[in-house]
Amino acid sequence: MDTPTATFIALLILVLVCALGWSAPRWWVARRRRRLQQVAFPAVWRKILRRRVPMLRRLPADLQLQLKKHMQVFIAEKAFLGCAGLQITEEMRVVIAAQACLLLLNRPQGYYRKLRQILVYPGAFAVQRASTDGNGVQQEQRHALAGESWSQGQVILSWQDSLEGAATPDDGRNVVIHEFAHQLDQEKGTANGAPARSRRADPKRWSQVFHAAYAKLRRQAHVGEPGLLNHYGAQDPAEFFAVVSEVFFEQATELAEYDPALYRELCGYYRVDPANW
């Protein structure tokens, strides 16, 4: 083989290798996910869902099927790690995955692309937080949390609170939905209550509706006025988005009556209408 021909072939191989190296991961991931979804949903998982996650009974049949397929991928791809001596069980994976995958229905299958690990504690866990008092003095304080979402690829959950959130599907309080809403918000960087949306969405309308609803909650929290939304959401826009996501999935009818514009924006974002389940 002469030198020009050999050089041309070598360059062609290099181009093909580079092309495959660029596209193969996404292609391989898509193929692997399809294969996971083609496997029969385990009978033991069905029993766990019936016993532990009553919310799923309200879903239309097509969304139940979609959710189960999402769960198969989610459980296969995400690592569950027990903390403080907790041993991860199949029940824990199924209960947490079912609630987390509610937020993925009818949406592009990103499966929380930045998330690598779910850390699970037996109950509430303690963290140190710096806070500043009225005199400007910064102090370290210890807080007990039921959940936390980190932009570095981790969600931390209390198993007790995750289980209780699933068991009571109509109180607007669900730590798994809350923390995974934060994960969606963090996919574009720092959480700010404005998660990435489709190009067809109107960012100006989203901003207007959410800022008005957030301001309303802050006013209610300031005077101690009880309402549909937990005052915890008045801390900042990121917490507001997470809190209102909990209510959207668990108290959809009430939220639609409380703030129709806010409910419509969430329907558009999550691509489901829980009030009609």
Q: For residue range 181-218, what is the model confidence (pLDDT) as tens digits?
A: 999 999 988 899 999 877 777 889 999 999 999 999 99
User: Is the confidence at residue 91, as pLDDT, over 50?
Assistant: yes
Q: Taking Cα atoms as reference points, which of 150, 91, 142, 145 lies closest to residue 123?
A: 145
Please count the CA atoms within 13 angstroms of the CA of 191 that sit on its side-chain side.
22
Percent of the chain residues past pLDDT 70, beyond the cut: 85
* Neighbour-count burial of 120, counting CB atoms closer than 10 A to its CB (0-12 exposed, 13-18 middle, 19+ buried): buried
Q: Taking Cα atoms as reference points, which of 207, 250, 205, 257 lies closest to residue 230?
A: 250
Do 29-131+138-186 and 192-277 agree at the fold level? no
CATH number of 192-277: 3.40.390.10
Distance CA 138, CA 259 (A): 38
Residues 6+ apart with CB under 8 A from 138: 130, 131, 132
pLDDT by residue (tens digit) across 95-134?
A: 999 999 999 999 876 899 999 999 999 999 887 655 555 5
Identify whether the C-beta of residue 193 lies closer than 8 Å to the C-beta of residue 238: yes
Distance (Å) of CA 171 to CA 21, 25, 107, 150, 166 = 48, 41, 25, 25, 10
What is the fold, at CATH topology level, of the domain defined by 29-131+138-186? Cyclin A; domain 1 (1.10.472)
Identify whether the C-beta of residue 122 lies closer than 8 Å to the C-beta of residue 86: yes
* Residue spans per domain, the chain: 29-131+138-186, 192-277
CA Rg value for the chain: 22
What's the pLDDT at 202?
A: 86
pLDDT by residue (tens digit) across 120-173?
A: 999 998 876 555 555 565 556 667 889 999 988 999 999 999 999 999 999 999
Q: 118: which DSSP letter? A: E
What's the pLDDT at 143?
A: 72
Residue 108 β-bridge partners: none
* Neighbour-count burial of 9, counting CB atoms closer than 10 A to its CB (0-12 exposed, 13-18 middle, 19+ buried): exposed
Distance CA 55, CA 99 (A): 9
User: Is the confidence at residue 18, as pLDDT, over 50?
Assistant: no
The torsion region of residue 189 among left (phi > 0), alpha (psi -120 to 50) and beta comes to left
Tell me the longest C-alpha to C-alpha distance in the chain: 85
Quickly state the pLDDT bin for 16 (edges 50, 70, 90): very low
The helix-helix angle for 175-186 and 90-101 (nearest 10°) equals: 60
Amino acid at 247: V
Distance CA 228, CA 254 (A): 8
Q: Taking Cα atoms as reference points, which of 183, 196, 187, 182 lies closest to residue 242?
A: 182
